[in-house]
A and B are shown apart, each in its own frame.
Chain A
Amino acid sequence: MTQTSKKKLFTNKDVLTGILNSFRKLSPRDQIRNPVMFIVFLGAIITTGIVTTEVLSSKFSSFNFQICIWLWITLLLANFAEAIAEGKGKAQAESLKNVKKETTAKLWTGKTHSPVPAAYLKKGELVVCEAGDVIPGDGEVVEGIASVDESAITGESAPVIRESGGDRSAVTAGTKVISDRIIIRITAAQGESYIDKLISMVEGASRQPTPNEIALSILLVALTAVFVLAVGSLKGFMQYSEVQSGAETSLATIPVLIALLVCLIPTTIGGLLSAIGISGMERLLQKNVIAKSGRAVEAAGDVDVLLLDKTGTITLGNRQASEFIPAPYANAEEVARAAFLASVRDETPEGRSIVKLADSSFKLRNIEFKDHSSRFIAFSAETRMSGLDLEENGANSSYRKGAPDSVIKWVLSNGGEVHPTTKNSVEKIAKSGGTPLLVAHNTRILGVIHLKDIVKSGIKERFQELRRMGIKTVMITGDNPLTAAAIAAEAGVDDFLAEATPESKMSKIREEQKAGRMVAMVGDGTNDAPALAQADVGVAMNTGTQAAREAANMVDLDSNPTKLIEVVETGKQLLMTRGALTTFSIANDVAKYFAILPALFTGLYVLNGTPILGSLDIMGLDSPQSAILSAVIFNALIIAFLIPLALRGVAYQALPAKDILRKNLLIYGVGGVIVPFVGIKIIDLIISGIGLV
């Protein structure tokens, strides 16, 4: 799967297949699934029947024929919306399927391996994969280490390391081993593998209507039922009024009443409802997040609490040097130079950050030292120091940086002394949540490096947005409470969980849920799996373990924990789009009444040649026929106009609920009343201008 441009909503090819599929979806079996559109379907069939009889008895009415055509167009447009939303998912599924080519697995028997078609692999069997092999099934590395190209799934071209044990042991079918050799235990039977699941999710095969979608459908069906009654009873009221006013002809023919009914029932939202749902998952897909169900996407919109890992989400991956604090007898440049030398060959992120800081403060890049004579002392868990030994001015010179007690020990063993202020500086940094590193040269402690977590730029603003949306953020970290509090304050999270263990994460989630809140979290390790399963929305990193990916209800292919925030926004957007279009659809009815009813009532209570109810025709439409037809045409075309909105979702801003409501009410409620008045008038001008009626 490659990342395609996200700018264009659909291509010409999408449109073409969409059109084809919208005809295919005219089958009763597809139509009955959507009760609102099914009424339109029935109406179109009845009208077609009437028009056909008229043609056969040579009483052809162009007006009825046009109503009939527009009813079918209404249906096709609704189908088209759904087809195009599905089509985009299908394209994505296709590219996933290509990944899942027929492969031959090397079944491992303990000493040798024998070829077996991947399709026959059973759960629990061992296979061996060497450089160049495609991994035949989802599994867990039980032996060895290898670099694996997972671009087929993630779109990320850099290979990743997979090794036995730990959190990087999961491998996915369809990915390719680039180097080395691993033995894998198959963990999923054929057809149930991760990629199979992705395909079925993307294809929407397992797409079940979400709770809100069901509730909304009930509302739409009920509204439809009421309008069926309203139009049905209107037939009675009109018959009464025709008798009372002595009208000779009646405009309330079956096609006209069907037209009125179709205009009134919520076809706009009814026609777009499934497209909205599909495109919600689709938008997540574009962000490279795969939701296992629509329910999960919807739940994301309701999240009250976000549990975020500190490292990688709130802070940059590693701690960085932020300051050199010299001992009273040394100056800052001396400290920087020593720190630079102690770190110049240190490839750890901390080491590089020290070099960077030293260079940017004192321009030490070009410092000269004889490379061949220097010896790098790498960090080890035992010494907890790193540094450089070299020849300087003809003497042996040793630079070290590291954990304070280790460095002190080293200096003392070299015969040096420790100044009392050293301890103070160290403690001060520790208290502020940072990590102090001592820098020493031979027998002298020169000063302290302040390593600290760097909060990602922009993340604080993100949290503020979330707070405005009513979402609480909780930072999860293995740090001690002191450090955690300092970072939490700097990042602006609402709460933190320090010295987190899988158990404490779990109990935090339970506690929040008990208070009625919906919790979302991101995780990747096997020990995250229970918490991911417990959370209402669990997003697993694709780089994570099989267990984590199984437990979560979403998978982030980019493995970017900050995505959680976007997932929440997509969930909200999904609901908002449904709500906005429902409001719009219902608000439209006002104008449609004002277009159709006066037209329908032209023959009633006529005084001196003017129908008394003509006063209701505030749009001044050309003729009764043109009024009715314009309303039907508007009703069909508005679906087409709103397809992009349904696919893209309404614009989302992080605002408190009441502000969002005010805004959407204005756009979709008030707008929904006004737009059709204008639209119907324009259509009326056009069709009466070109003489269609």
Chain B
Amino acid sequence: MQTETIFYNIFFFIVLFSLGYPFGLFMARVFEGDIPKRVSWIKPLEKIIYGFSGINAEAKYSASTYLLHLLIYNAFGFLLLFLILLFQGHLPLNPQGFAGLDLPLAFNTAISFTTNTNWQAYSGEVSLSYFSQMVGLTTQNFLSASTGLAIIMVIVNGLRNKLDKTIGNFWVDMVRMNLYVLLPLSFILALILVGQGVIQNLAPYVKAVTLEGVDQLLPMGPAASQVAIKQLGTNGGGFFGVNSAHPFENPTPFSNFLQLLSILLIPVAQVFAFGKLMKDEKQGFSIVAAMAVLFTALLVVSHWSEVSTIPTWANGVPMEGKEQRIGVNESVLWSVATTAASNGSVNSMHSSLSPLAGLVALFNMMTGEVIFGGAGAGFYGMFLYVILTVFIAGLMVGRSPEYLGKKIEAYEIKLAIIGILVPSALVLLGAGLGAVSSWALTSTSHKGPHGLSEILYTFASTAGNNGSAFGGFNANTPLLNVLLGVTMLIGRFVVIYAVVMISGSLAQKKYTPITAGTFPTNTYIFSVLLIGVVLIVGALTFFPALTLGPIAEHFLLLKGHTF
């Protein structure tokens, strides 16, 4: 890496952690219901919401009831969005007069935003009305992110409660995350982004004449408000088709820096919040450390590959697929961050990344996006790996495995494995079948290993609820819309099911005091082991697939063959 690149990245990390840590403590207080002063003026609104919707904020529910509430809520959100998308032609705020989406696309898109995936089989500026974007998508961005965040509190309650059948109240957890965390933060970010030049209007598209004298249609719309939450809530669904590579979404280096920061802010903060909530901040540090090490290693690989393996032409910089104004480093950093964090927004075209940088992006998603990961999802996904790690480590130290005083037994192991492996199985099944079936092959736009990468990326992105696209793969076919929609649905809710039920089971257990015979989970050894488990599980599952995709492409590229 060049010196300035290193400085940029180090500076980025310093800012990220110095904001992430205090924000994590802030989130912990919100989770506890001990609302910090700065946002306490919103409190009456919380009461009004509970009163209006008949929620008993004091009630505590069992794991299965909690899960039921979560599912009802998400099903409702899905239905609302689905209908808006189908009937946007009859709804207001549609200056371009877009017709409703066809059934499979509406289904796919509604699931995509409900599951925090934000896979976009459509292109915003040529298919969605402002109403669909604002009322439909932006709302869902908040709802899906807060659903994920609520699960953190479920885990905390599972670990903290003793011999207790309840694990909390979904409505309260979710409402608090929206009111005190997501809304204020998005509001601030949107304002700054508008200041940087991100557009925010309801005007019809503008016709312009370019310097060459050609007519051009400039799309308009309320972008800033959606961009803010798309990053903060690790949603990633762009207002425009090319996402944050579009100058109206991401106009300046500062807006780029801010968006990068907001991709990882909550994913980092939520782990600190967990440590704080467990009254042992080191428990959060050890997990954050594992994530940071993995992130750094993958970033280094990605960057090395990008600058050293792509044959460069005129200006000595591999710029294909990248925005000139954004440059190599910030594109690579973004590609790693957005796939690590289940975000899925892009500021460059991932299809044009060098093969190994593409592999890093793929690998991030294949591990289930647990390297910081999505809002809530990153931590609860990592929690499953923690369970697995603790189990193996516990056996190795000769003691029935336990995490933070709760015994990890067959039931927890079963669910943790389901949560980790079902998304992986979806990727292997989908891509394995896709590689020999015309419904996927006709959608690819490249031959050779790159074509295989496209298929792999599509399934990894949807099963992992990332939502970024490799580019080149035409996912907007009726069959793929349905298939990928179902993939996203399973990828999201099977994991949530596993985590909530594990927490429910843990809450009912008694607390085993920590002794010198207990394997400590707040030390560097734990971080190392956790890294090992994430890498090994990911690598063992996907090594053959990755070898025939990006790795083969990498070796071919070194010999001068491109696809």
Contact = CB atoms under 8 A, between A and B. Distances in A.
B561 A470 contact: no
Contacts of B412: 215
A661 B561 CA distance: 46
B410 A215 contact: yes
A522 to B, nearest CB: 20
Contacts of A216: 395
B398 A237 contact: no
Given A613-B547, A657-B519, A576 B398 contact: yes
A219 B525 CA distance: 22
A572 B512 contact: no
B398 to A, nearest CB: 3
A212 B395 contact: yes
Given A226-B425, A576-B395, A593-B544, A236 B435 contact: yes
A601 B552 CA distance: 10
Interface of A: 211-212, 214-216, 218-219, 222, 225-227, 229-241, 244-245, 264, 298, 301-302, 304, 467-472, 515-518, 571-576, 578-580, 582-583, 586-587, 589-590, 593, 597, 601, 604-605, 607, 612-613, 615-616, 652, 656-658, 660-662, 664-665, 668-669
B436 interface: yes
B395 A578 contact: yes
B515 interface: yes
Contacts of A657: 397, 399, 516-520
Nearest to A579: B395
B435 A607 contact: no
B544 A579 contact: no
Q: Interface range on chain B: under 10, 10 to 19, 20 to 34, or 35 or more?
A: 35 or more
Given A233-B432, A236-B432, 8 more contacts: A214-B410, A222-B418, A232-B432, A239-B435, A304-B515, A580-B396, A590-B536, A613-B555
A582 B395 contact: yes
Nearest to B397: A657
A54 to B, nearest CB: 26
Given A237-B548, A515-B513, A652 B391 contact: no
Interface class of chain A by DSSP? helix
Given A232-B432, A234-B432, A669-B532, A601 B399 contact: no
A604 to B, nearest CB: 7
B436 A572 contact: no
Closest 5 CB pairs of A and B: A579-B395, A233-B432, A470-B517, A572-B398, A470-B515
A595 to B, nearest CB: 12
B397 A589 contact: no
B552 A612 contact: yes
For B421, B435, B555, which residue has the most chain A Cβ atoms within 10 angstroms? B435
A238 B548 contact: yes
26 contacts: A226-B541, A229-B432, A230-B428, A230-B544, A230-B545, A234-B545, A237-B452, A237-B548, A240-B452, A244-B449, A244-B451, A304-B513, A515-B513, A518-B512, A572-B397, A576-B396, A579-B393, A580-B396, A597-B543, A605-B556, A607-B556, A657-B397, A658-B397, A660-B397, A660-B398, A661-B393
Nearest to B414: A218
Contacts of A665: 396, 525, 529
Contacts, number: 225
B552 A661 contact: no
B75 interface: no
A229 B429 contact: yes
For A216, A235, A302, A580, which residue has the most chain B Cβ atoms within 10 angstroms? A302
A264 B536 CA distance: 13
A575 B513 contact: no
Given A236-B432, A237-B548, A241-B449, A660 B410 contact: no
Nearest to A227: B540
Contacts of B532: 669
B424 interface: yes
A664 B396 contact: yes
B452 A597 contact: no
B150 interface: no
A247 to B, nearest CB: 12
Contact of A601 (B395, B398, B547): B547
Contact of B547 (A580, A586, A616, A658): A616
B533 to A, nearest CB: 9
For B428, B429, B529, B556, which residue has the most chain A Cβ atoms within 10 angstroms? B428
A51 to B, nearest CB: 25
A607 B559 contact: yes
B552 A241 contact: yes
Contacts of A601: 547-548, 552
A618 B537 CA distance: 22
A212 B529 CA distance: 20
A580 B398 CA distance: 10
For B513, B519, B540, B544, which residue has the most chain A Cβ atoms within 10 angstroms? B544
A579 B396 contact: yes
B201 interface: no
B467 to A, nearest CB: 22
Given A219-B417, A225-B421, A613 B551 contact: yes
A240 B455 CA distance: 11
B216 interface: no
A590 B399 CA distance: 27
A529 B391 CA distance: 34
B432 A575 contact: no
Interface in B506-563: 510-513, 515-520, 523, 525, 529, 532, 536, 539-545, 547-549, 551-552, 555-556, 559, 561
B447 interface: yes
A687 B110 CA distance: 58
B392 interface: yes
Nearest to A660: B397
A664 B419 CA distance: 28
A237 to B, nearest CB: 5
B559 A612 contact: yes
B517 A304 contact: yes
A302 B520 contact: no
Contact of A240 (B435, B510, B529): B435
B395 A222 contact: no
Contact of A658 (B394, B434, B523): B523
B548 A572 contact: no
A284 to B, nearest CB: 15
B400 A302 contact: yes
A88 B359 CA distance: 52
Given A237-B435, A593-B543, A668 B410 contact: no
B401 to A, nearest CB: 8
A662 B435 CA distance: 42
Contacts of A661: 393, 396-397, 519, 525, 529
A582 B393 CA distance: 10
A250 to B, nearest CB: 13
A402 B406 CA distance: 55
Contacts of B392: 579, 582-583
Contacts of A669: 532
B464 to A, nearest CB: 16
B84 interface: no
B400 A212 contact: yes
A230 B170 CA distance: 37
A241 B515 contact: no
For A232, A238, A240, A605, which residue has the most chain B Cβ atoms within 10 angstroms? A240
B36 interface: no
B399 A302 contact: yes
A575 B395 CA distance: 5
Interface string B376-403: 0000000000001001111111111100
B266 interface: no
Contacts of A298: 400
A215 B452 CA distance: 36
B409 interface: yes
B543 A572 contact: no
For B405, B432, B452, B541, which residue has the most chain A Cβ atoms within 10 angstroms? B432
